[in-house]
Amino acid sequence: MSTITEINPVFVLHSIKNVSIENREVPKLRDQHDVRVHIEQTGICGSDVHYWQRGRIGDFILNSPIVLGHESSGTIVEVGSAVQNVKVGDRVAIEPGVPCRRCDFCREGAYNLCADTVFAATPPWDGTLQKYYIVASDYCYPIPSHMSSEDGAMVEPTAVAVQICKVADLRANQTVIVFGCGPIGALCQAMAKVYGAKKVIGVDISKSRTDFAKKYAADGVFVPEIAPAGADPVDASRAIGEKIIAQFGLGGGADVILECTGAEPCIQAGVFAAKKEGTYVQAGMGKENVVFPIMMACIRALNIKGSIRYTAGCYPASVDLVASGKIDAKALITHRFKFEEAEQAFELVKKGQEDVFKVVIQGVQ
């Protein structure tokens, strides 16, 4: 239990480009099903940086201060009277979005679509970059002793990749093109191999990222050339898609396209690289509106889907995949910071350097 003298340091986003560390009271359990977790590691996600720099993602708008962070693991230090699945001392990965559990989406297991989800570091809800975080006990997943706290924090982006491949209905022996070789793209490539994909191709404009992808999970990688000045952008994207098909012997196109960049040229190239009746999944978030080759998507009878967060079963599967070593999520971590250095960590991620993959922040000791 917390003592009267104990404090709870938090990393707060006050307004656009305005962050600080401040001390608050140790948070209390809200009901008998809650637990209090001592946060040990937190990964920085692009969405955290987006709120910091722009103050909104779609309909989620920063109107009041929030604590940042949502990719976290830690140790349970207090449990509510009705908690049965975990106990004090358990090390857990935290699923950061707790839905209402009552709406139609929740009841069918698609709780990522619940309109009343309390999602960490999504306005107006506080995130996990604090010493202590309160969360519903059933959204904490025990991790085995051989998994580190960093492994536990990496369960969240792994769960995103699990969901993307689930949405794609990925099957064994399929060919897969993943646009983006950053953390989510690389994890999707690894997930596709776990699913038994026959050939997985990673695409990125960064050679260092494609070099990593080739060593990590991809069977082949492709670095697109910059379109010549004056070229029609859609024609240039079509040429990229066709080059990928030709270079890797994909015949009529790839069975599955996983778009993890949100970049308009990649979105367009993905449509042209998909085979007839293939599946295209949009997971990357970039501009809100892009030029989309809808006629080609129609002619090829593509199955176009969007992927957001995770659904029932993704988090337990992710814990198992990381624990078993089938997914080496920790290999993506390139930089580590102390809690007091959180702003420096965010500044580093914002720069978008090629050698910066995943940045994690150690919790308050």
Q: Where are the domains of the chain?
A: 8-157+310-362, 169-306
Q: Let me know if the fold of 8-157+310-362 is the same as that of 169-306.
A: no
Could you give the angle at the alpha carbon of 97 between the alpha carbons of 95 and 101, nearest 5°? 110
pLDDT digits (tens, 9 = 90+) for 274-305: 999 999 999 999 888 999 999 999 999 999 99
Q: What is the pLDDT, as a whole number, of residue 127?
A: 98
**Averaged over 159-165, what is the pLDDT?**
98
Q: What is the mean pLDDT of residues 224-247?
A: 95
* Residues 8, 38: Cα–Cα separation, whole Å: 10
Q: Mean pLDDT of all residues in the chain?
A: 96
pLDDT digits (tens, 9 = 90+) for 240-256: 999 999 999 999 999 99
* Rounded CA separation 287/265 (Å): 12
Whole-number pLDDT of residue 3: 47
The pLDDT value given to residue 5 = 63
352/346 Cα distance (integer angstroms):
10
Q: 128, 70 in Cβ contact below 8 A?
A: yes
- Please give the structure tokens belonging to residue 73: 């693991």
Binning pLDDT at 50, 70 and 90, where does residue 265 land?
very high
Q: What is the pTM of this model?
A: 0.96
What tokens were used for 227? Answer: 């379109």
* Mean per-residue pLDDT, 342-350: 97
pLDDT in tens, 42-76: 999 989 999 999 999 888 999 999 999 999 999 99
Report angle CA 156, 54, 293 to the nearest 5 degrees: 75
Kindly tell me if the per-residue pLDDT of 228 is higher than 90. no
| Percentage of the residues of the chain whose pLDDT score is greater than 90 | 94
- Asked if residue 184 has pLDDT above 50, the reply is yes
Terminal Cα-to-Cα distance of the chain (whole angstroms): 16
pLDDT tens per residue, range 17-40: 999 999 999 999 999 999 999 999
Peptide bond into 124 cis (omega under 30): yes
pLDDT tens track for 105-138: 999 999 999 999 999 999 999 999 999 999 999 9
CATH number of 169-306: 3.40.50.720
Percent of residues, the chain, with pLDDT higher than 70? 99
Q: What is the mean pLDDT of residues 157-181?
A: 98
- What CA–CA distance (Å, rounded) separates 26 from 124? 19
**What is the reported pLDDT for 21?**
98
Question: Could you say which of 3.90.180.10, 3.30.70.270, 1.10.3720.10, 1.10.10.10 is the CATH number of the domain covering 8-157+310-362?
Answer: 3.90.180.10
Decide if pLDDT at 140 tops 70. yes
